[in-house]
Amino acid sequence: MYRTDSRWDPVKAQMWWRFLAKNTQPLGTSALAWWTLHDAVPSAIRVVVLGTIGSLLFGAAGALLYGPNAGIVGFLAGLIGGCIFALQEDRPRPQRLRLDFGALRGQALRLLLYWLVIGGGFGGFMTLTFMPVGVQTAWFLGALFGVMIAVLGIFATVVRMVRRRVDVAVTANATESLFADRRNALGTAIAAGVVMCLVVSLAHPPAAGLVCGLAVAFGLGLEPTAWGQWLLLTRFWLPLSGKLPWRLHAFLADAYDRGILRQNGAAWQFRHTCLQAHLSGPTAVEDHHE
């Protein structure tokens, strides 16, 4: 079927289909869920990709704020965070933010007090740490970091409480699910990144605020979300390694038009399980990959 289609190379298309079939067959399903495709990436590669990005961003943020030693601490913190998200068994699934805050009812005061205590404690620790530099500087930095921790903690907790997983059974299609999770991830990343950037820029050069904002945006909005891992692993690493096409969404949409796939809620699905079984076998005849 791809022999006369200039958009897709027939040999590569067969290789892509074999990869997709092999990575859904062990699950006992014919569904191609966009948020599970990155499970095909080996754990070591997941650690390298997520850990490298996190360590570089947080390392740069630490170095710009307090010098090389803080940069090393930030590098290690980013690397550890990347490893945690890369190796977690409970993979992120599509989510969306609900605009009603019923989940916060009756908990707003407790949430505010909890993070004020945490922020106050951290601020006091930073004040004592920087006291040798000067009293005014120590109080300023302590207050700054205390407020920053409290604001980010409240923000992250509120987002987690009002965020709900998408019901894939009632979602219209895969595109809607993907775009909804993208809005959720980018909204969280932008809001957290802007807050961090503004707070840090009060006491440091704008460049430091920008890098810190990017690091927090990555850590809260991209690394732990289904769309973020889809972007970094499925849309970047798998095409880079030749496992999938760079225009993956267009490839799957074209397969739907050709009758190879069908829509099943938020996931694609092989229309014929015998085709999936054939493609996932040890050999595949070229004519059957269509």
Question: What b/e sequence results for 91-103 when a residue is b if at least 16 CB atoms lie within 10 Å of its CB, and e otherwise?
Answer: ebbbbbeeeeeee
Q: Which residue has the higher pLDDT, 25 or 224?
A: 224
Q: Is 230 a member of any domain? A: yes
Lowest-confidence range among 202-216, 234-248, 267-281?
267-281
Q: Give a yes or no: residue 161 inside a domain.
A: no
For residue 130, report the phi and psi dihedrals to the nearest 5 degrees: -95, 10
State the chain's mean pLDDT as an integer: 77
Of the candidates 3, 1, 5, 21, the residue with the CA atom closest to the CA atom of residue 243: 21
The reply to whether 238 and 115 lie within a common domain is no
Domain annotation covers residue 160: no
Are 174 and 141 in a shared domain?
no
Domain match, 193 and 53 both? yes
Give how many domains the chain has, as a whole number. Answer: 2
Domain, as residue range, for 45: 1-94+166-290
β-pairing verdict for 31-32 and 267-270? antiparallel
Is residue 40 located within the same domain as residue 120?
A: no
Same domain? 24 vs 105: no
- 245 pLDDT band, cuts 50/70/90, is very high
Which of 155, 179, 207 is where one domain is finished? 155
Longest dimension (CA), the chain: 77
Nearest to 208 by CA among 20, 42, 52, 63: 63
> Residue 201 above 80 pLDDT?
yes
Give the amino acid at 121. Answer: G
Residue after which a domain boundary falls, among 155, 178, 202: 155
Task: Specify the pTM.
Answer: 0.70
145, part of any domain: yes
In sign, the C-alpha dihedral spanning 117, 54, 40, 227 is positive
226 Rama sector, left if φ>0, alpha if ψ -120 to 50, beta otherwise: alpha
Mean pLDDT of 201-207: 84
Q: Is residue 55 part of a domain?
A: yes
- Residue 16: name the closest of 221, 184, 203, 246 by CA: 246
What percentage of residues in the chain have a pLDDT greater than 90? 3
Same domain, 204 and 62: yes
Residue of 87, 247, 98, 94 whose CA lies nearest to 185: 94
Do 208 and 88 lie in one domain? The reply is yes
Render pLDDT for 131-185 as a digit per residue (tens, 0 to 9).
Answer: 777 787 778 777 877 776 777 677 666 766 666 666 655 566 778 888 888 888 8
DSSP the chain: --TT-TTS-HHHHHHHHHHHHHTTGGGT--EE-TTTGGGGS-HHHHHHHHHHHHHHHHHHHHHHHH-HHHHHHHHHHHHHHHHHHHH-SS----EEE-S--GGGTTTHHHHHHHHHHHHHHHHHHHHHHTGGG-HHHHHHHHHHHHHHHHHHHHHHHHHHHHEEE--TTT-S-HHHHHHHHHHHHHHHHHHHHHHHHHHHHTTS-HHHHHHHHHHHHIIIIITTSHHHHIIIIIIIIHHHTTSS-SSHHHHHHHHHHHTSEEEETTEEEES-HHHHHHHTSS---GGGG-
The answer on 99 and 48 residing in a single domain is no
Q: Which of 103, 133, 155 is the last residue of a domain?
A: 155
Is 77 domain-assigned?
Answer: yes
